[in-house]
Structure 1
Amino acid sequence: MAPAAETVLDEVDGEEGAGGAPAGPGSPGRVLRSPAVAGPLAAALLTGVLLCLATRFSRSYPFGPVTRNIVDLGQQYLPFHAYWRSFLLGETHGDAFLNWNSGFGSPFLGDIGTYLSSPFDLLVVLFPADRIELALYVVTAVKITAAGAAAALLLLRLRPGPWPVAAVLGTAYALSGWTFNVGAPVPMWLDGLVAFPLLCLVGEWARAGRRPVLGPLVVALAWTANFYTAYMATVGAAVVLVVRLLTAEETTGARRRLAGALRAARSVLIGIGLAAPLVVVVFLATRAADPTPVTTFAPAAWTDVLARFLPATASLASPALFIGTPALALALTLPFNRAVALRVRAGWSAAIVLVTLSLQWEPTHLLWHAGASPNGIPYRQTFVLCGLSIVGAWFSAARGVPRPAALLAGGALLGTLAWTAGSSADIDSWTYPAFGVAAVLALAAVLLALLGDRGSPPDERAGTASDASADRVHARSATRELPTGAPPAARAWPTAIRPVARVLPVLAVVLLVAAQAGEAVVTGKRIEEQQRAEVAWSPRIGPWHEAVAEETARADSWPRYRTDPGEVPGGNDALLVGGQSPEYYSSLTAEVTSRTLDGLGFGHYAKGRHPVTLDNPVTDALFSIGTRIRSHPTGPVRQDALPRATVSVTTTPVPPLVTVRPPNRPATHPGDSAFARQERLLGAEVYELPAASRAGRTLVARCPAGSQVWFWAPEYRGGATLAGERTVDFEGKPPAVRAPLRALGTVPGSGEVRIELSPEGRTRLPRQPLGCLVRDRLDSAVRQLTATGATEVRATGHTVTAVLPPGSTGTAVLAVPRVSGWRCAAGDAELRPARAHQGLVAVPLDGRANTVTCSFRPPGLKLGGAVGLAALLALIATAAFRGRRQEFTRSARADRSPGKVEG
């Protein structure tokens, strides 16, 4: 590299110029031409274009009419980002501590740290409310392009080389199979994709003793954005650092290696400490979350693992290892590329092989996932292996096209891999055609590059015939770009046609880009299409959601009573359309919330972490749901059309949000059925619970004429039909899905209840499946709770204050699940941890206080704040020590200056 370009690279990378003085600023043109800028910019541009093309060819939104909202993308991330936009713009009732819209009042800081704390998520405020799907796509695309840029920057930092190749490999990392198959549908994990190359850069700074302040800040940003994948990225970056300490010639001697490792550990510990105020809250919220069933890890078949290196393969049961045939071929040449030092080849090859094996062994699988085998996708850490493979490809290609022997050996490995994977069920009809075309284009690019090198003058060819000479050249300048490293040709082309030969490397890069780009687009297209065909999906946001949102906003009367928006396509309804609902889907759904609602007859999905609404007048009274919105779709919900529905609004009298239960608990039905639990919480007997007899698929019982028949069978899947009424469907599928309590119809004048069941599979009913609601009894209970309940309720972000009738005794009950973090007091007393009444927040009353105050503080906030403060002090001390050391160094240099006059 020319001296001017060297100076620009120093400026971009933060190096100091000769003699320790800061390098000159340089012109904008010189900065843009420097590899450290051109490579990342090209990678970002290429990544963004290819991602959009893959979306366009799959006909997905925003470049087509088909929904992208598969599984959690539609049920979690889209609703959370819609709420995040409203929150940032001050349009929500809650604050950073509490979300009043979901789960009848749910902790929110943990959800921020899990789903929304990435800096990229702030982009949602730039979009109108009716373009939240576009906002989420842009957030996803920006994260992926940033990952490509960061990877290209890392490669150029690890070893100088041609920036176009670094850009292509950065794009290969950003558009890996993991990104399409796992990261894009779960956007929060994409922060780990960005974090891995950045944390590797932190390791490089620590190894060189540079940037002791910026390093911890990068770690803190990564762990704040998404600590789950940041943990995996940190483990992967540690692997990279170990290999670099053992193989890089700049790091020799045990003392220097130990010092580099200690500096890296300091950066990581301070960085995690800075993120602790959020990380500790998320950690404790995870421990309090509804537990998912224990999962035993089962490794994928090796044929499936090998198949996932190929394009257009999709599966959640095997690691998504596709990085593109050209990139994979380069990585496979590394063990045989003698232009690379033996220890470098051995170190990186061993790291890639060992990490690959670690995906398949349960102890290391648990290590990658912080000790707990996850439900769902078992290979979430695969992006780290994709990154290591890209690094291996770069070390093999940075000095130029590998020698023919290395190319043949790598090609043989690639062919063997493709042939062995042929029996895998993950192979798609597009896999081998895309692989073949990419391989041919990559081979043509290699031939053109070799021909171009043959036409270069001798002084432009590489002189890296041996491992030792290559290392000595690299050690002399860690920032100097080396010439192409192909073997010297016996005879250069004639001078007259050398200008033509110099075009050949450019054509080689074009073919390399075409090969990599074509496979990435095909892979992205096919994965999106396969996912839509095989997994659950939600339609795009459309007129249905807009109609419900308008009616909800018009009816909203919080905190006087709740407005339940009912069910809209996608779930997490209140986050999308407003209101206050039990609907809530989060990895942090508290076990208290889930169990309390389950016991009262609510249903759930996702093994308990997705409670759903219950259209039942008793629970409406219990949770002060005064307005209920009901939707009736006007047609089938489709992937390629906006959903539409007619919307109706019903308002009924309900008790206030804070009610009072008398000291002596009234007698209600015993047992653990949903009906008995509702009555105990209500404090009144409102159901008739008949003894049902069963004859085959028929249930027979007797109830008061005119009462409403409710059927409770949380594990039942099939239909239930009350004589003379329509069939009502139940979708129980334990443990994932719990069917909610549902009304079957009205008891006829004869009082006979006859229910025909049409189960799908085995029929399993609880001991008390039937309850007949007598509406007069419920109306009387509602009037009593209203008369003795709060006369005024005020709610701020995370605090509720209620004024009670004078002399109230017994227990004040706030209609919110009693999750950890609630503190309450009667009158002017000090706030203390709240008590529970049938799972809800409760405060004892002695007749002397006429006010009740309850406030929520996320568990772990104080501990995390203390750790964060200590880390901040450590960072300040590090900066101060660094400043004093630099001042001492400048003084020492001034003392040694020849122009200094003694005396």
Structure 2
Amino acid sequence: MATPSSRPRTSRWLTGLDGRSRLVRLSRPSRPSSVAGPGGPAGPLLAFAVTVTAFCAAWVARGSFPFGATGRAINDQANQYVPFHRALWDLAHGQAAGDLLFTWRGGFGQQFLSDYYTYLGNPLSWLAVVVPRAHVDLAVFVVTPLTMGLAAAVMTVYLGKLVPGPWWQRGVLGAAYGLCGWALSDASYIPMWLWGLVALPMLGIAVEWCLERRRWPAATVLVALAWLGNFYTAMMATMAACVLLLIRLVVLDLTGRQRLRALGRAAGAAATGILLNLPLLLPSFLSSGAAQPTKAGAFDPVRLEIFLTGMLPATHLWGGRPRLYIASLGMVLAGTFVLNTAVARRTRLVWTVAVVLVAASFQFPPTQYVWHGLAVPNGNPYREAFVFSGMLVIVAWMCLAHRPRPLHLAVTAALMVAAAFVLRHTDDFGGATWYAVLGGGAVSLLALCLLARAERHPRLVPVAAVLMVAVVLGESALAALNADQRRSREGWATPAVTSSGSITRHFEAVRSADGWPAYRTDSGSPQTSYNDALALRAEGPQYYSSYLPAATFEALEPLGYGYKNDGRTIFGADNPVLDAIFAIGARVRPDATGDGWHADRFPAPPLVTLRPTLAFTSPAPADSVYARQENVLGAAVHEVPTPTRTGATWTARCTPGTEAFWYSPDTTGTLRTATGTSLPLEARMTGVVRLGPVPASGEVRATVDSATTGPSVPAHPIGCLDRARLDAAIAHLRATGATRVQPDGHTLKATFPAGSTGTAVIATTATPGWQCSRPTTPFHGLLAVPLTGDTTTITCTYTPKGLLPGLAAGAAALVTLLTACATTLHRNRRTRSTPEPPAGPHGGTQDAADLRSVH
């Protein structure tokens, strides 16, 4: 990076004795020790400590678990992340029903590898396996500040590689990055996304190594680590790294050949690092393609004033709006960067244009789609906001390292106050923003002015340091608290409890009824989370994942299971016919007092049953859910009358002693039975519900209180179950079904009596990836294999699509990396055995292998 002659260059390309140009870093004469350099531990440790302290201080102030009774889990943190981490604990401790590729818990058996990569990829998530299972949720919460702190520490190292300077100043700005608005307001409850915050500075370091023509294997490893955590934010961080590389290629004094070689090394490191993750990446990509589709809306950029308000410190805007800010200290320095004449003009111009263009790309639909991997953003459309915050921190550091003038700082601080005044009427502009802009801005300006006078008055340095640390810590804690408080007012973000006496008793009741693989245990309702089967070690249908296959939804929804999120969340249904179809032999229910849980056990067919070769056709009306259930069960067990309607009341007649059920998946309201029981109807979330025993009169009556009762109720909402017929059907399935079922990881083996013919039906959905010892056959969406009497055993193995080619590509990338490492080691040995070159003009040497610094 070129600088005016009045200041020493921080980096330049020097020509060694072999005539080759190399990037050489120049340290300032005043740098006291290696601790001030990029590799010193003090700066990263400071950044880590400030970040973790600020975030946890907001927890304490809010009274959130574990510092109070307020729930900590927000939205999917309760429904997905905590349950998946509990499943990871089970996997690590050998108590999972399945393995890394497949789990039998949830959705009646689903892939697990893509879920692992998406929800558990953050390496710090493995902290959850070293604590007792009862405290996994606390470990999940702790992953957030630890990941933010690690991101701050790595950013501190990266800043030192760009421009050398005092360790504590880098540490403070590293903390400003770890506590950026995106981390505090958008991703603080999403542990896997937070790894993108770490990935950005890691990839920045890899870029610098590629420019220096050093440590290509290490750069490749950093790319691999970035993509190991979560491909979504890793993709955004990689795109940002491309921007950083282009900026550095422009501002550094390089020849065309040197630029091409740097691009080649960077491209090679990126390709190899990503390929190392292909065993995870490719199956996840293919699983996403096979998943139940969602209705993502088109990107609609926010108004300009809202976008700019998102840059003001401690601002939390409603909904999916951008949170682009960093602490006021960083904002003042970033704004002053363009005015700092101590930084070379070309450097200021290129970085300023890059920052502006990156911000503008967030508002332009085509480039916004590029940031999101050519997909319509689902949810918050500004998930790449941390990229902009990272660039702000970088220019803030370059400004601080070149000692900005107090006048320029004051102008920038005044502009920030003016912007806050102009934007004060923006939706949800809160008081915390004024505290940050006025209070934090004033303290930041004071600290920076004291620092500017520190050359003449060294005693001011500790004062400035304390003020800078205090303003980032205090202001960020306020921003985190503000985000928590404002976000909790939105219904989707109401904090949920993930540890309680009731949840513990629920878990114990499920475990007491465990009979896997002889039968499944359903965790019942009310649910603690959408993934109760994973969280409570049950084997029911409850499952919530972005990878829920369309094949699973298409198999379960017609049978009367409720769903949400466009079909990516499946709920349970307390229905004996469905229990028989899916081998459920126990269900947990709350006690009458509501203080505890108990398990009900009942006969169930085995996990693999035998059906006649000739498909069964139900005599019930074909458009009813009861007919669809009977077609899968293979027996007629219902009466399905045609009801009469009087106003909002439906009346039908069934055989006394049978059990009546109701199904109207498009109805929202309240269902009232003849006995006065009220049942909530939540449209597609509500599956088949139990009305109760049919009285001696044979009359079944149900009243629906809903504004849309007419068109929302199907022609045959009522079905009456004959328990004697169902018991006979179950007995037949048990008598003819598999005599032994062995689910082992992602493989299932079933043994039948000799001479068995028909269709062997496995109580799991026929999702892509299953391969059986005999060709499979369609059976109402379930996995089925025809038996012709010449075999007594079938074996089915689940292999995620793309795993084998992913492993092959990953192995090739690993060989490439190991070869590069071996080549580097060999070259280093040869270099050490070569006599030292003659001394340079100043008594030092310009060793061809030493590219790090010249003193």
TM-score (norm 2): 0.91
Q: Could you tell me whether the CA contact under 8 Å between 2:200 and 2:237 is conserved in 1?
A: yes
Q: Paired residue for 2:641, among 690, 693, 706? A: 690
Q: Could you tell me whether the CA contact under 8 Å between 1:173 and 1:390 is conserved in 2?
A: yes
How far is 1:662 from its partner? 0.4
Distance of 1:582 and 1:166 partners within structure 2: 50
Per-residue CA deviation, residues 863-889 of structure 1 (Å, 9 max, x unaligned), is: 101111121222233234434544565
How far is 1:314 from its partner? 3.9
1:846 maps to 2:783: no
How far is 1:120 from its partner? 1.1
How has the CA–CA distance of structure 1 residues 125 and 818 changed in structure 2, closer, same or farther, with 3 Å as cutoff? same
Distance of 2:387 and 2:70 partners within structure 1: 31
Distance of 1:96 and 1:148 partners within structure 2: 31
Residue 563 of structure 1 corresponds to: 521
How far is 1:621 from its partner? 0.3
How far is 1:295 from its partner? 2.0
SS in 2 for 1:835: coil
Distance of 1:350 and 1:740 partners within structure 2: 55
How far is 1:420 from its partner? 3.0
Distance of 1:611 and 1:748 partners within structure 2: 32
AA aligned to 1:379 is Y
Instruction: State how 1:181-220 maps to structure 2 within 5 Å.
Output: 181-220=185-224
Per-residue CA deviation, residues 11-68 of structure 1 (Å, 9 max, x unaligned), is: xxxxxxxx99xxxxxxxx9765656321111101111111111111111112222111
Residue 598 of structure 2 corresponds to: 648
Q: Could you tell me whether the CA contact under 8 Å between 2:38 and 2:158 is conserved in 1?
A: no
Distance of 2:55 and 2:49 partners within structure 1: 10
Distance of 1:353 and 1:894 partners within structure 2: 47
Of the structure 1 ranges 875-884 and 213-222, higher mean CA displacement relative to structure 2 is found in 875-884
How far is 1:312 from its partner? 4.0
How has the CA–CA distance of structure 1 residues 769 and 516 changed in structure 2, closer, same or farther, with 3 Å as cutoff? same
1:700 maps to 2:647: no
Q: Could you tell me whether the CA contact under 8 Å between 1:216 and 1:271 is conserved in 2?
A: yes
Residue 468 of structure 1 corresponds to: none
Distance of 2:591 and 2:75 partners within structure 1: 23
* Aligned residue pair count: 807
Distance of 1:335 and 1:349 partners within structure 2: 7
TM-score (norm 1): 0.86
Q: Paired residue for 1:450, among 449, 452, 462? A: 452
AA aligned to 1:875 is L
Distance of 1:416 and 1:299 partners within structure 2: 24
Residue 463 of structure 1 corresponds to: none
Q: Could you tell me whether the CA contact under 8 Å between 1:312 and 1:522 is conserved in 2?
A: no
AA aligned to 2:805 is L
Distance of 2:88 and 2:79 partners within structure 1: 15
Instruction: State how 1:323-334 maps to structure 2 within 5 Å.
Output: 323-334=326-337
Q: Could you tell me whether the CA contact under 8 Å between 1:98 and 1:107 is conserved in 2?
A: yes
Residue 165 of structure 1 corresponds to: 169
Residue 720 of structure 1 corresponds to: 671
1:504 maps to 2:460: yes
How far is 1:95 from its partner? 0.9
How far is 1:334 from its partner? 1.2
How far is 1:896 from its partner? 7.8
Of the structure 1 ranges 86-95 and 873-882, higher mean CA displacement relative to structure 2 is found in 873-882
How far is 1:123 from its partner? 1.3
1:631 maps to 2:631: no
Residue 406 of structure 1 corresponds to: 408
* Unaligned segments of structure 1, at least 5 residues: 1-8, 11-18, 21-28, 457-500, 636-644, 827-831, 899-903
AA aligned to 2:323 is A
Q: Could you tell me whether the CA contact under 8 Å between 2:406 and 2:449 is conserved in 1?
A: no
SS in 1 for 2:690: strand
How has the CA–CA distance of structure 1 residues 34 and 891 changed in structure 2, closer, same or farther, with 3 Å as cutoff? closer
Instruction: State how 1:254-293 maps to structure 2 within 5 Å.
Output: 254-293=256-295
Distance of 2:593 and 2:119 partners within structure 1: 33
SS in 2 for 1:316: coil
Residue 801 of structure 1 corresponds to: 749
Distance of 2:184 and 2:721 partners within structure 1: 50
1:740 maps to 2:742: no
Distance of 1:130 and 1:294 partners within structure 2: 36
1:709 maps to 2:660: yes
Q: Could you tell me whether the CA contact under 8 Å between 1:538 and 1:569 is conserved in 2?
A: no
How far is 1:632 from its partner? 5.1
Distance of 1:762 and 1:336 partners within structure 2: 66
Distance of 1:835 and 1:419 partners within structure 2: 68
Q: Could you tell me whether the CA contact under 8 Å between 1:308 and 1:426 is conserved in 2?
A: no
Of the structure 1 ranges 296-305 and 267-276, higher mean CA displacement relative to structure 2 is found in 296-305
Q: Paired residue for 2:255, among 253, 256, 260? A: 253
AA aligned to 2:791 is A
SS in 2 for 1:836: coil
Distance of 1:136 and 1:419 partners within structure 2: 39
Residue 544 of structure 2 corresponds to: 585
Q: Could you tell me whether the CA contact under 8 Å between 1:789 and 1:804 is conserved in 2?
A: yes
AA aligned to 1:854 is C
Distance of 1:798 and 1:774 partners within structure 2: 37
How far is 1:193 from its partner? 0.6
Distance of 2:474 and 2:321 partners within structure 1: 23
Q: Could you tell me whether the CA contact under 8 Å between 1:602 and 1:740 is conserved in 2?
A: yes
How far is 1:591 from its partner? 1.2
Q: Could you tell me whether the CA contact under 8 Å between 2:514 and 2:521 is conserved in 1?
A: yes
Distance of 1:782 and 1:627 partners within structure 2: 14
Distance of 2:245 and 2:593 partners within structure 1: 59
AA aligned to 1:334 is F
Distance of 2:279 and 2:95 partners within structure 1: 25
Q: Could you tell me whether the CA contact under 8 Å between 2:416 and 2:437 is conserved in 1?
A: no
SS in 1 for 2:773: strand
Residue 475 of structure 2 corresponds to: 519
Distance of 1:35 and 1:791 partners within structure 2: 65
Q: Could you tell me whether the CA contact under 8 Å between 1:102 and 1:572 is conserved in 2?
A: yes
* Unaligned segments of structure 2, at least 5 residues: 1-9, 12-19, 23-31, 841-855
SS in 1 for 2:719: strand
1:814 maps to 2:817: no
AA aligned to 2:686 is A
1:550 maps to 2:508: yes
TM-align CA RMSD: 2.3
SS in 2 for 1:563: strand
Per-residue CA deviation, residues 605-652 of structure 1 (Å, 9 max, x unaligned), is: 2221111111110000000000111125967xxxxxxxxx42121111
Q: Paired residue for 2:571, among 612, 624, 639? A: 612
Per-residue CA deviation, residues 837-878 of structure 1 (Å, 9 max, x unaligned), is: 111110011122122211111111111011111212222332
Residue 15 of structure 2 corresponds to: none
Distance of 2:537 and 2:579 partners within structure 1: 17
AA aligned to 2:649 is T
Distance of 2:747 and 2:148 partners within structure 1: 39
Of the structure 1 ranges 583-592 and 875-884, higher mean CA displacement relative to structure 2 is found in 875-884
Residue 16 of structure 2 corresponds to: none
Distance of 1:729 and 1:739 partners within structure 2: 8
Residue 117 of structure 1 corresponds to: 121
Distance of 2:728 and 2:284 partners within structure 1: 43
Residue 5 of structure 2 corresponds to: none
How far is 1:762 from its partner? 6.7
Q: Could you tell me whether the CA contact under 8 Å between 1:585 and 1:610 is conserved in 2?
A: yes
Instruction: State how 1:342-353 maps to structure 2 within 5 Å.
Output: 342-353=345-356
AA aligned to 1:347 is V
SS in 1 for 2:753: coil
Per-residue CA deviation, residues 94-144 of structure 1 (Å, 9 max, x unaligned), is: 111111111111111111111113321121122111111221122222111
AA aligned to 1:796 is D
Distance of 2:235 and 2:279 partners within structure 1: 16
SS in 2 for 1:793: strand
Q: Could you tell me whether the CA contact under 8 Å between 1:312 and 1:524 is conserved in 2?
A: no
Residue 667 of structure 1 corresponds to: 617
Residue 704 of structure 2 corresponds to: 757
1:658 maps to 2:605: no
Distance of 1:537 and 1:890 partners within structure 2: 60
Distance of 1:325 and 1:762 partners within structure 2: 55
SS in 2 for 1:814: strand
AA aligned to 1:866 is A
Distance of 2:378 and 2:736 partners within structure 1: 46
Per-residue CA deviation, residues 399-433 of structure 1 (Å, 9 max, x unaligned), is: 22x12443244234323431232121131233213
How far is 1:324 from its partner? 1.1
1:382 maps to 2:332: no
